[in-house]
């Protein structure tokens, strides 16, 4: 007997939607087509779209360290509510995930506590740069995270020689927070106390493009893969579109949905993140990149902070906002508005993450692949409300906003983990495997 059959849905297979059934056995996709066998459980997906399991390749779940703000359990709950079946989580924790001992600790913390599948970035430092060559087969390691600007403690790698050493020794994709620390230091005098509108002035366009040019130059010198996170400027779009191949990059839903100064007028410090939300000329160029498939991924940069901290006077307010729960509703709404296609979104959150990071057996609906699915209703309207945010932070920059299109079921390894906004079962996510 089969474990699960998904019937009557439009399944996303080989870039097209097909009215076809999918069966699951032992956590794998057993067959695709007309299925006559019986199953323990059947899902009627009539009028719904069955997508491969969607992966958020940039999240911060704050554990170990700031577990009052988020932890691996609560972050994973937010993920599956939002239709996300797998996450890549960042190393800027306390202590940082920058040694094999701390990496193993994070794996131990995740076991039997995370609902979705997971992988972790290994944090690059000036001290461990020479040791990054032997991470290739480290279980659950999606890549190396390089903070070229805007981090704390030993995770900040601002010196060019140290950045070179990281790339020279990297055995996996280097995901980069690209801001120029020296320019940030010079620009500090431009900060206006109590005025978050000065945030993108301090963290200027030049701060971003200067760093990104350097990262690309070094990565290409050593023929290594660099994935530049949360691109925000038109200058970077124009530059990176000319440097493809080993260089890939991400845009966030936030930067595709809100822009300055409106966001700061409305949200104040709740719109504060690094790199910052910029004006509409940059917003328009980001959308130009999306429409032309220049970017490679869309990641949420889920970086929650408690309201008590976000309410502090700028610049004492922390940067970052939650997003793993809202990534899919926000982007599905953009599809309904005609801003991008479903094919493009699946490239950004399923297929390209597989290709860039070497994920095994995910990202596609194929026989023998992991039975991870995100089932969406493109016609269902939802209103994002702070009280419905699963993250411990309890707020969203999209509070009160209506979106059309939302995940209605999250299935991981053939098990239904979310249905109609309700979490089902136990936290039995497993580490994502890489080739």
Q: What integer pLDDT is reported at residue 154 of this predicted model?
A: 84
CB 208 within 8 A of CB 255: no
Q: What integer pLDDT is reported at residue 397 of this predicted model?
A: 98
Q: CB 17: neighbour CB atoms within 10 A?
A: 15
Q: What integer pLDDT is reported at residue 150 of this predicted model?
A: 74
Q: State which H helix or E strand residue 181 sits in.
A: helix 181-187
Q: What integer pLDDT is reported at residue 149 of this predicted model?
A: 77
CB 119 within 8 A of CB 88: yes
Which residue ranges of the chain lie beneath pLDDT 50? none
- How far apart (Å, rounded) are the C-alpha atoms in residues 9 and 50? 6
Please name which of 406, 259, 250 lies closest in space to residue 334, comparing C-alpha atoms.
406
Q: What integer pLDDT is reported at residue 435 of this predicted model?
A: 93
Q: State which H helix or E strand residue 208 sits in.
A: helix 205-221
Q: CB 103: neighbour CB atoms within 10 A?
A: 21
Q: What integer pLDDT is reported at residue 326 of this predicted model?
A: 98
- Each residue's pLDDT tens digit, 149-176: 777 678 989 899 999 999 999 999 999 9
User: Rg of the Cα trace of the chain?
Assistant: 21
The per-type count for the chain, helices as H runs and strands as E runs, is: 13, 19
Q: What integer pLDDT is reported at residue 325 of this predicted model?
A: 99
Q: What integer pLDDT is reported at residue 241 of this predicted model?
A: 96
Domains of the chain, with CATH numbers?
Answer: 51-357 (3.20.20.140)
Phi, psi of 397 (to 5 degrees): -65, -15
- Each residue's pLDDT tens digit, 372-419: 999 999 999 999 999 999 999 999 999 999 999 999 999 999 999 999
Q: What integer pLDDT is reported at residue 151 of this predicted model?
A: 74
Alpha helices in 296-394 (DSSP H): 307-310, 327-336, 342-346, 352-357
Tokens of 379: 């016609």
pTM for the predicted model, two decimal places: 0.98
Phi, psi of 290 (to 5 degrees): -60, -50
Q: What integer pLDDT is reported at residue 145 of this predicted model?
A: 98
Q: What integer pLDDT is reported at residue 294 of this predicted model?
A: 98
């Amino acid at each position: 007997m089969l474990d699960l059959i998904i019937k009557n849905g439009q399944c996303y297979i080989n870039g097209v939607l097909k009215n076809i059934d999918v069966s699951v056995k032992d956590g794998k996709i057993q067959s695709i087509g007309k299925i006559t066998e019986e199953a323990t459980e059947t899902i009627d997906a009539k009028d719904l779209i069955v997508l491969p399991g969607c992966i958020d390749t940039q999240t911060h779940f704050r554990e170990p360290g700031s577990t009052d703000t988020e932890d691996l359990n609560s972050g994973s709950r937010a993920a599956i509510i939002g239709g996300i079946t797998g996450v890549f989580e960042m190393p800027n924790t306390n202590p940082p995930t920058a040694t094999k001992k701390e990496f193993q600790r994070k794996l131990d913390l995740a076991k039997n506590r995370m609902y979705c599948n997971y992988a972790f970035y290994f944090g690059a430092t000036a001290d461990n740069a020479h040791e990054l060559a032997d991470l290739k087969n480290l279980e659950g390691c999606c890549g190396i995270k390089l903070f070229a600007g805007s981090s704390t403690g030993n995770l900040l790698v601002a010196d060019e020689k140290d950045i070179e050493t990281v790339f020279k020794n990297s055995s996996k994709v280097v995901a980069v927070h690209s801001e120029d620390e020296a320019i940030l230091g010079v620009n500090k005098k431009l900060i206006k106390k109590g005025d978050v509108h000065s945030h993108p002035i301090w963290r200027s366009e030049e701060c971003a493009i200067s760093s990104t040019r350097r990262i690309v130059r070094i990565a290409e010198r050593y023929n290594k893969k660099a994935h530049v996170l949360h691109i925000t400027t038109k200058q970077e779009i124009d530059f990176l579109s000319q440097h493809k191949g080993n260089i890939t990059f991400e845009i966030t839903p936030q930067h595709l949905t809100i822009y300055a100064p409106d966001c700061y007028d409305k949200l104040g410090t709740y719109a504060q993140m690094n790199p910052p939300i910029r004006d509409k000329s940059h917003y328009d160029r980001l959308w130009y990149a999306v429409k032309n498939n220049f970017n490679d991924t869309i990641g949420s940069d889920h970086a929650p902070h408690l309201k008590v901290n976000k309410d502090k006077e700028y610049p004492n307010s922390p940067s970052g906002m939650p997003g793993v729960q809202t990534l899919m509703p926000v982007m599905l709404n953009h599809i309904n508005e005609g801003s991008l296609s479903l094919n493009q979104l699946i490239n950004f959150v399923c297929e390209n993450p597989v290709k860039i990071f070497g994920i095994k057996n995910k990202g596609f609906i194929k026989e023998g692949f992991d039975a991870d699915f995100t089932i969406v209703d493109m016609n269902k309207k939802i209103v994002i409300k702070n009280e419905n945010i699963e993250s411990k932070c309890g707020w969203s920059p999209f509070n009160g906003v209506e979106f059309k299109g939302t995940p209605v079921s999250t299935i991981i390894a053939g098990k239904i983990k979310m249905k109609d906004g309700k979490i089902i079962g136990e936290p039995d996510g497993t580490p994502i495997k890489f080739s």
